[in-house]
Amino acid sequence: MQNPFSTQPELFITNADLEHPNLQGLDGAEAVLDWAILERLMAGIYASKTGRPSYPLLTLLRASLLGIWYRLSDVELAQTLFRDLLFRKFCHLELGGSVPDASTIGRFRARLVEHDLWEILLGEVNRQLEEKHIIMTEGRINIIDATPVEAAQSGPGKGADGQPTRDRDAGWHVKADSRGTLKSTYGYSVHTGVDEDGFIHRQTVTAGNVHDSIERDTLLLGTEAALYADAAYSSQATRDKLAKFGIADRVQRKGYRGHPLRQADKARNAEIAVTRSGGERPFATYKTRYGLARTRLMGLAKNLTLFGLAAIAHNIQKGAKFLRLYGLPEPAYTG
């Protein structure tokens, strides 16, 4: 059973203190969404009406997002929730009251895995941002790309039972860098589809040995004006698929043995690269700002949800920044 996500501000801090700049850092994230809808989408997680009351689902979701934004482990997050007023305000935790511990946060994330909810939540976040005209849908493009992420357990060691400790769901990702040197990473590949403003619309996670092009159809929207991608996605099958849906082909070309790229294709690739590079920005956010260059969890399902939460965190943060800088755009006239 759930406790409601409703705490009057005066129960945990005075109204005067709420105006302090140090406690307004997450107000944009608060304002950019109707969070109650997200709560309803998660209602089935704790369907039982009996038993010990749990923390409100929005408290646990918001805490999980804080863990992403501030690159905190579950233990570090629980400690910070206990002592940080900004975190308590965002999660509606009363001053002096209890806070979720690390195991509670981990169990909530496990429930998201079991109920396969991250994609539903991301879709709702994007729907609301589209409704506010923060995400623009008319004529939007789709930039698809993938990046390797090292597994939390990637070494050849064995546990006390003699079994390998390496993450069994991961795989070897091998790719040549700009100088032709092969680089190997044991882990996962995160595949995303983003628009020109960097909002993530599609995402999936696979073992590192899955080729980028395999996830092409997962990342396609079907309604984009153009698809931008690097040469890993270049094939006749891709060109046929895009032609079928009337999507402009902005996939870079690749050469083959005995058939090097023509000069015209090289020029085309260089032109596409200017826009296509925008697809790499969320990866920089994940790895540099969120500390996700290496997975925190073991197993494909858990990492799919963890990076799903990262996509949600990324879009909320970007939407809040848009709101802070520009306010809400005027809706397009449709009369």
pLDDT digits (tens, 9 = 90+) for 141-166: 999 999 999 999 887 777 667 677 88
- The CATH code that applies to domain 138-299 is 3.30.420
Work out the percent of the chain whose per-residue pLDDT is above 90. 73
Q: According to CATH, where is 3.30.420 located in the chain? A: 138-299
Q: Is the Cβ–Cβ distance between 205 and 307 less than 8 Å?
A: yes
Greater pLDDT, 13 or 187: 187
Give the strand pairing for 226-229 and 248-251. Answer: parallel
- pLDDT classification of 7: cutoffs 50, 70, 90: low
Please report, as a single letter, which amino acid is at residue 23: L
Tokens at residue 215, please? 């996830």
Model-wide pTM > 0.85: yes
Greater pLDDT, 289 or 98: 289
CA atoms of 150 and 40, how far apart (whole Å): 35
Is it the case that residue 51 has pLDDT exceeding 50?
no
Give me the pLDDT at residue 14, please: 57
CA distances (Å), 302 to each of 121, 147, 153, 216, in order? 16, 18, 14, 22
Give me the pLDDT at residue 53, please: 46
* CA torsion through residues 286, 292, 295, 301, sign: negative
Cα 22–chain centre separation = 26
